[in-house]
Chain A
Amino acid sequence: MSEILTSSATKVIAFQLKDKEYAFPVQQVQSIEKLMHITRVPGTSPFIKGVINLRGVVTPIVDLRSRFQLPEEYNEQARIIITVSGDTEIGLIVDGANDVLDIPGSVIELQPEGVGGAEEDYIVGVAKLEKRLIILLDLEKVL
């Protein structure tokens, strides 16, 4: 993750979760899917929603709201971000994903104190972009 902080500009996929904006580097995102039927897998952690059929590949799905201990609720805008970590693909349910942003390294601040919430452990840094505050997440830790 450190290269994100040092490189001049990082391309990220930004998404919403409740009232905040988060982002993953574009390299870690394979695709963005609409919500589809999720098959529950019994006996797994509560934030694992189950598996979907992603073009013939059985892909596990993590609910980020539940991961960050936010109340679970989805609307039409909800999306599944398919991330790639090593050779495993995992989908993350978010409230909406519609932005690809270039974030200059200069505007990224390393994990400030007091962001609060359960997501604090997963944060790499925070980027201030005009009036927006975008939280950069560490995929490995989220999973």
Chain B
Amino acid sequence: MEVSQYLDIFIDESKEHLQAINENLLLLEKSPEDLGIVNEIFRAAHTLKGMSATMGYDDLANLTHKMENVLDAVRNHKLQVSTDMLDVVFESVDDLEAMVHDIASGGDGKRDVTSIVKKLLKIEQGGAAFDSSLQKSPDTNALHMEYDEFEEAIIQQSKDQGFECYEISIQLHSECVLKAARVFMVFEVLEKYGEVIKSLPSVEQLENEQFEDRFTVAFITKETASSLKDKIEKISEVVQADVSETPRKAVEDIMLAQEEAALKQDTPVEKKETKTVNEPAASKAAASNKTIRVNIERLDSLMNLFEELVIDRGRLEQISSELNHPELNETVERMSRISGDLQEIILSMRMVPVETVFNRFPRMVRQLAKDLNKQMNLEIIGAETELDRTVIDEIGDPLVHLIRNAIDHGIEMPAERKAKGKNEEGTVKLKAYHSGNHVFIEIEDDGAGIDKEKVLEKALTKGIITKEQAASLTDGQIYELILASGFSTADVISDISGRGVGLDVVKTTIESLGGAISIQSEFGNGSKFLIQLPLTLSIISVMLVEIGSEKYAVPLSSIIETAIVQKEDILNTHAQRVIDYRGKIVPLLFLEDLFEVPKEQKEESFYSVVIVRKGDKMAGLVVDSFIGQQEVVLKSLGNYLSGVFAISGATILGDGQVALIIDCNALIK
């Protein structure tokens, strides 16, 4: 079958299913009694199995199948959810992810899964001992077994792969004493040659000897019926073994069953759910939106085209204001409005909830907590907050760093926490929210907080700051030292973090996205990292200003307000001119000097000032005049001109000229 055309869809959907499994497993860990969650996981795993089998990824299908068996046991109350069990399931999900990843990067998805498969089998069989006493021995003499659709699917798949499926009915000696032992021996022989997929009575009933002297197993193998018969009958106290092929009918039904697997599977499961748990998953299913998949490249080219349109819109607006023709004005105005709406829609199409980044963290935290023997609780708030895809792509790694940092360095060991009178379980809060043109992400922990003295000491010994500087630093500035490169306060270098290469990378990445990071901390009570990110990177609102004959753009997001300042209101401190702005001392930056704008000096009686901020720091940019507010398309200056001071990029104005965009973050120190 030619499947390559479905590969992309397969990979996408597999990732989605794996993510769903991951999320639900975490939920399950919190509420192990909720069978609705097990069903969700089961469904995702089952679909994944079907897809990978169709695509010919046998290892993937095989492992998913084993995982499914364990889940099935849970679902049928044969197995209880335990941390050990979840660990193995998580591990197998990791393997599955690795395989899907391999396939995505062009590999064949092969992977040695024997050890994990063994673990799963062990759980599946080990668990069989659980609640066997509850079950009454059913009719043990039934010759033919009933298969549910999963088992039938397995049978069908095995047959496709050249295996045979037999029903083996085994008669033990009527005076056999240790029936369970004989059963065990039979199983041992069978497992050598294939796989037992079902037994009647069930395995635990067999083990508890809750049967007369006859039992039946469904068995998948490549051996012939007669050789199997011989092998089983060699076991002492086995009187007779009847090997027959699985009835044809069961297999034929499967064709239908497989096609409608999803549907069929849903209905019985849902019914069961409502009976056992008063929380049907139906509402979840109903919540799925009507969506279509669009290739990201298409969205990108739509965005590019729209950027061109924005530039031309600027040009049109300028022409119409020059001509001042009423009908032209009206048309241009309407076009501007429509393209404004269009812009909103296009931008919103590129918006992705931060959930896509956040959802990998619970797993990570769980694992870290285990590795470090700490007790952790990760709270995620505002996962639905949306950000531009380009920002989302970049923000994952910095967040991983910060969370690892919080868990490794922030949260104390349980004993230590107890001694301090804190809850033994540490909490890391991950919170995302919109505010103005920005998205904020907070990572807050209730751990040890940052030791200012230790940070200062370290920064001094590492030569990051001088003694004189150290004396004048504010708390916030001291905390920010830990973001400087070559800084690490952990006494012991650990695997998780503490190599001193992490946090400066975090800072650089965030700043390269046009964002900012700040730290608040209270020694002994925890720290908070606050990341501010722009909503989008491609179209921004700016205020155009003129300096001499040059035009510059100041991002609206950094502007607090504009002001006209009388010359006599300017105060001179040593080497710095400042103004008193609403009770705060704000330094003035004369852009004509900073940017060496060629112009004749003339004395003015007042200055036009744009008040900008970076975090809680402010500065006043002195310009010649304000032109106005405009939406512009952010363009890079390219590699040749990279690293120009205080310029974050360029944009093309309505008249076709290029205006430079001022990077306020670089101007405010």
Contact = CB atoms under 8 A, between A and B. Distances in A.
B662 to A, nearest CB: 10
Interface stretch (A26-34, A53-61, A96-104, A122-130): A53-61
Given A53-B658, A58-B635, A42 B644 contact: yes
Contact of B641 (A48, A53, A56): A48
Interface stretch (B142-150, B225-233, B617-625, B649-657): B649-657
A39 to B, nearest CB: 4
A70 interface: no
Contacts of A88: 638-640
A40 B311 CA distance: 20
Contacts of A59: 638
Contacts of A58: 635-638, 650, 652, 658
B647 A41 contact: yes
A41 B641 CA distance: 9
A90 interface: yes
A24 B660 CA distance: 30
A44 interface: yes
B530 to A, nearest CB: 30
B649 to A, nearest CB: 8
A52 interface: yes
A115 interface: no
A51 B308 contact: no
Given A42-B594, A53-B658, A143 B638 contact: no
Contacts of B639: 88
B650 A56 contact: no
Tell me the interface secondary structure of chain A in the complex.
Answer: strand
Nearest to A57: B635
Contacts of A52: 658
Nearest to B594: A42
Contacts, number: 64
B312 to A, nearest CB: 10
Contacts of A90: 640
B652 A53 contact: yes
Nearest to B652: A53
A51 B646 CA distance: 16
Interface centre among B597, B645, B650 (most CB of A within 10 A): B650
B596 A51 contact: no
Interface residues of B, number: 25
B114 to A, nearest CB: 47
Nearest to A143: B640
B595 interface: yes
B311 A56 contact: yes
Interface residues of A, number: 20
A125 B105 CA distance: 47
B659 interface: yes
A51 B595 CA distance: 15
Contacts of B647: 41-43
A46 to B, nearest CB: 11
Contact of B595 (A42, A48, A60): A42
A141 interface: no
A37 interface: yes
Contacts of A57: 635
B302 to A, nearest CB: 16
Contacts of A39: 550, 650, 657-660
Contacts of B637: 41, 51, 58, 60
A26 to B, nearest CB: 22
Contact of A53 (B550, B596, B645, B656): B656
B166 to A, nearest CB: 64
A51 B550 contact: no
A88 to B, nearest CB: 5
Contacts of B656: 37, 53
B502 to A, nearest CB: 31
B644 A44 contact: yes
Contacts of B644: 41-44
Given A42-B644, A60-B637, A51 B652 contact: no
A102 B636 CA distance: 37
Contacts of B638: 58-60, 88
A41 B637 CA distance: 10
A57 B636 CA distance: 9
Interface string B54-74: 000000000000000000000
A42 B659 CA distance: 12
Nearest to A85: B640
A57 B595 CA distance: 23
Contact of A43 (B635, B640, B645): B645
Nearest to A89: B638
A37 B657 contact: yes
A40 B548 CA distance: 12
Given A58-B635, A58-B638, A41 B308 contact: no
Interface string B160-173: 00000000000000
A51 B645 contact: no
B623 to A, nearest CB: 14
B657 A40 contact: no
B308 A56 contact: yes
Given A51-B650, A56-B652, A58-B652, A41 B660 contact: yes
B659 A44 contact: no
Given A39-B650, A40-B550, A53 B657 contact: yes
Interface in A3-59: 37, 39-44, 48, 50-53, 56-59
Contact of A60 (B597, B641, B660): B641
Contacts of B640: 60, 88, 90, 143
Given A42-B647, A43-B646, A90-B640, 5 more contacts: A39-B659, A41-B660, A51-B658, A58-B650, A60-B637
Interface of B: 308, 311, 550, 594-597, 635-641, 644-647, 650, 652, 656-660
29 contacts: A37-B657, A37-B658, A39-B550, A39-B657, A39-B658, A41-B637, A42-B596, A42-B644, A42-B645, A42-B647, A43-B595, A43-B596, A43-B646, A51-B637, A51-B641, A51-B650, A52-B658, A53-B652, A53-B656, A53-B658, A56-B308, A56-B652, A58-B635, A58-B658, A60-B637, A60-B638, A60-B641, A88-B638, A88-B640
In order of increasing CB-CB distance, the 5 nearest A-B pairs are A42-B595, A39-B658, A58-B650, A43-B645, A58-B635
